[in-house]
């Protein structure tokens, strides 16, 4: 499993939209993955907001977000995703069920990444909580802007369901 590097507490902005902290040098292999419910409704500045895995069974790349996404983490998770991307027909799953809020700083880098990797993408699936209307809208806008087909799913329960996509 690839994870975002641990961030020093002084570099972490207090909100999801903050641009604090310099860009990091890239992902590193670290300890245990993020756990469902780990944040319990509060920001934990010593924990990254994302984790990435590749399913051994299907080859799908699963990016999981928990809590707010800090602006300085955006280039890190795209760098980690680029490392795992196959040359073609990539199945990418963005699990946003435990994402808190929407960081508008993610829009431009997401669109750029999608356009640059369009030829390598087979399917993008975005898994959201049923009440996450803003994330459904953002996914639609990114899909239209990049020309990459995306499925938005809000009917899945549990980690096993995500990995079976």
What number of CA atoms fall less than 13 Å from residue 93's CA on the CB side? Answer: 25
What pLDDT does 151 receive?
87
Instruction: Give the pair of three-digit tokens for residue 121.
Output: 């993408």
Domain ranges of the chain: 45-163
Given a contact cutoff of 8 angstroms between Cβ atoms, the answer to whether 104 and 134 are in contact is: no
Task: Output the CA torsion sign for 83, 35, 109, 150.
Answer: positive
**CA dist., res. 114 & res. 41, Å (int):** 30
**Per-residue pLDDT for 6 more than 80?**
no
What pLDDT does 130 receive?
76
**CA dist., res. 54 & res. 37, Å (int):** 21
Average pLDDT over residues 18-31: 38
Instruction: Give the pair of three-digit tokens for residue 159.
Output: 């980690």
Fold of the 45-163 domain: Transcription Regulator spoIIAA (3.30.750)
What pLDDT does 129 receive?
82
pTM: 0.62
**CA dist., res. 89 & res. 120, Å (int):** 6
**CA dist., res. 1 & res. 19, Å (int):** 26
What pLDDT does 128 receive?
85
pLDDT in tens, 33-52: 444 444 444 455 667 899 99
H/E element holding 121? strand 121-127
């Amino acid at each position: 499993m690839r994870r975002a590097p641990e961030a020093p507490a002084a570099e972490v902005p207090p909100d999801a939209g903050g641009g604090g902290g310099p860009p990091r040098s890239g992902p590193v292999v670290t300890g245990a993955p993020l756990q469902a419910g780990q944040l319990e409704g509060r920001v934990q500045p010593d924990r990254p907001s994302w984790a990435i895995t590749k399913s051994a069974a299907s080859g799908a790349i699963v990016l999981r977000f928990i809590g707010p996404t800090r602006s300085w983490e955006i280039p890190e998770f795209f760098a980690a995703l680029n490392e795992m991307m196959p040359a073609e027909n990539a199945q990418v799953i963005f699990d946003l069920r435990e994402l808190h809020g929407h960081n508008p700083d993610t829009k431009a880098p997401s669109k750029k990444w999608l356009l640059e990797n369009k030829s390598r993408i087979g399917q993008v699936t975005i898994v959201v909580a049923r009440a996450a209307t803003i994330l459904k809208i953002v996914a639609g806008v990114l899909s239209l802007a990049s020309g990459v087909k995306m499925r938005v799913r809000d009917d899945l329960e549990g980690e096993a369901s995500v990995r079976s996509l």
